[in-house]
Structure 1
Amino acid sequence: MSRLKNILGRLYAIYGSLVFAANILVMFLPMWVISRLPEPERTRRFFPLVRAWMKVFMPMLFCPVRRKGLENFEPGVTYVVVCNHNSLMDVPVTTPGVPGYHKTLAKIEMASTPLFGIMYKIGSVLVDRKDENSRHRSYEEMKQVLNQGMHMTLYPEGTRNKTNDPLKSFYDGAFALAIDTQHSIMPAVLFNTRKILPPDRIFYALPHRVDFHFLPPISTKGLTKDDLPALKERVFKIMWDYIEQHNSKKK
């Protein structure tokens, strides 16, 4: 059975790669046109397009996305959305899945990726992590995104979680941003993206439904930088406990 599963996983990976390549070629021209627009018009045009695309792309991969907790987004309120990070599939889920307009933080190298890079240029604040000036500029840009009425979606683990634990330890950035701007934090949890692209396998994938849950927001009103460690620990525990409870129900 394991040998058969390995063969099926390789075949599905080939299928997924072909579907992605065909989709990105179709989407490149409209994406390029949108990338020439000024902000915030560029972002406002980008999201209807990418949401329509993913409504086709994810079912083509036999990976439907089910969202829960959308009622936690209060109309007209901007949030710092913090999400766990397990797989390369996370971005295609979170980009169209977070309600309203938003941007992510991405490594500047992603913008040079052929074809796919144009999406990062539109939908992300880019940062060169090795450059202190770039890190400072990206932080200020994230503040501007929030001031423009768009959410910032951040992965506080920094990189993909390849451990067996529900979460890796969090970095300070998302929580410093939320405190500095006094925007509430919206914890968000992804399930099953690692089952689609296991971190310990090369060119191997399997279809699976994805669950994307939004938890009640956490206010930062009146908090200062001295409150950052406690805020980070609180959000970490809320997300950790939620993941464990959700997984235990499925056993």
Structure 2
Amino acid sequence: MFKNIFGRIFAAWMLVMFALTMLVIFIPVWIISYTPEPRRTRGFLFFGRLWMKVYMPLIGCPVRKKGLEYFAPGQTYVVVCNHNSLIDVPVTSAEIPGVNKTLAKASLAKVPLFGVLYRIGGILVDRSSEASRKQSVVEMKNALSLGIHILLYPEGTRNRTDQPLKNFYDGAFALAIDTQTPLMPSLLFHTKKILPVGKKFFAWPHRIDYHFLPPLQTTGMTRDDIPAFKEKVFRLMWDYYESNNLK
């Protein structure tokens, strides 16, 4: 009983703090939105990282990182990550070093105020529109050419199962191969404990661990290699998750 009550109070605290801390950075980020890329995303991330440095400890969910040494200076990556919770996106965007963008659900860009930040930090896609999906690929390739890392969740949607991962889609692997960009696997731990599956308006404080794995080269690969490459990354991430899922 106590946990259910506290979990709902904590969920309210998370929402209120998210809104209040977002308002602090909203105006400078809105101004930055009128600058060209990659300056726009670099500026957004500067304020976004300050935001998360305050917000995450404030809600009792500090983030610990491992594997940052795998990011080589001057190298751009396609970063893939598991997806368990709504909190994954702000955590990953803030914690990936350098300038990065993620593929973002177009409908969320309509949310007042938050939608402005969402549009700047992401490449929007309407998955029900073939034209939108094709345009998002063009924009991701252009971002990579500007030295912007692309973060993708190959499971597509949040993993609501009790398994470490859901099956992967081809998109992230096709993008890395088409652009001959190294692909870096990464894994988030504990975000499902903060926002448990199946519980409405409930949250629980817990630290987050974000681990980066050694990048995999795509030089010389073609689209024929996608199935084997995807399976290799899936197995690497699954095994790493099972052996490093700390309490």
How high is the TM-score relative to the length of structure 2?
0.98
Counterpart check, 1:10 vs 2:8: yes
Q: Which residue of 2 aligns with 1:216?
A: 214
Runs of 4+ in 1 over 4 A off after TM superposition: none
Query: Which residue does the alignment assign to 2:194?
Result: 196
Q: Which amino acid aligns with 1:107?
A: K
CA–CA separation in structure 2 for the residues paired with 1:154 and 1:65: 19
1:90-105 aligned at under 5 Å gives the runs 90-105=88-103
Q: Match of 2:98, SS?
A: coil
Q: What's the counterpart of residue 87 of structure 1?
A: 85
Which deviates more from structure 2 when the two are superposed, residues 72-81 or residues 112-121? 112-121
Which stretch has the larger CA shift, 209-218 or 130-139?
Answer: 130-139
1:44 aligned to 2:42? yes
Structure 1 letter corresponding to 2:62: P
Which blocks of at least 5 consecutive residues in structure 1 are unaligned? none
Task: Report the secondary structure of 1:104's partner residue.
Answer: strand
Deviation of residue 27 (structure 1)? Answer: 2.0
Amino acid aligned to 2:228: A
In the other structure, the counterpart of 2:181 is 183
Q: Is 1:174 aligned with 2:179?
A: no
Which deviates more, 29-38 or 175-184?
Answer: 29-38
SS at match of 1:130: coil
The equivalent residue for 2:19 is 21
SS of the equivalent of 2:240 reads helix
Which residue is 2:143 aligned to? Answer: 145
Deviations 1:101-122 (A, max 9, x none): 0100011111111111112211
Q: Which amino acid aligns with 2:179?
A: T
Unaligned 5+ segments in structure 2 are none
Among 54, 57, 60, the alignment partner of 2:55 is 57
Distance 2:16 2:106 in 1: 26
Query: Is the CA contact (8 Å cut-off) linking 2:159 and 2:165 kept in structure 1?
Result: yes
Supply the distance in 2 between the matched residues of 1:4 and 1:128 (Cα, whole angstroms): 41
**How many residues of Structure 1 are paired with residues of Structure 2 in the alignment?**
247
Whole-angstrom CA distance in 2 between matches of 1:40 and 1:212: 25
For 2:239 and 2:210, locate their aligned partners in 1 and report how far apart those are by CA, in whole Å. 16
Amino acid corresponding to residue 229 of structure 2 in structure 1 = L
Judge which range, 189-198 or 106-115, deviates more: 106-115
Cα deviation 1:164-183 (Å, max 9, x = unaligned): 00000000000000000000
Counterpart residue identity of residue 102, structure 2:
T
**Root mean square deviation of aligned Cα:** 1.0
| 1:76-112 Cα shifts (integer Å, max 9, x gaps) | 1000000000000101210110010010001111111
Quick one: percent identity of the two aligned structures?
60
Please state how far the C-alpha of 1:73 moved relative to its aligned partner: 0.7
Choose which of 147, 161, 164 in structure 2 pairs with 1:163. 161
Alignment correspondent of 1:227: 225
If the length of structure 1 is used for normalisation, what is the TM-score?
A: 0.96
In structure 2, how many angstroms separate the alpha carbons of the residues matched to 1:176 and 1:117? 28
Between 46-55 and 163-172, the greater mean CA deviation after superposition: 46-55
Code of the residue aligned with 2:3 in structure 1: it is K
How far apart in 2 are the matches of 1:56 and 1:224? 43
Q: Counterpart of 2:150 in 1: which secondary structure?
A: strand
Given that 2:38 and 2:148 are in contact with CA atoms closer than 8 Å, whether structure 1 keeps it comes out as no
**Per-residue Cα deviation, 1:42-79 (whole angstroms, up to 9, x for no partner):** 11211111111111111111110000000011111000
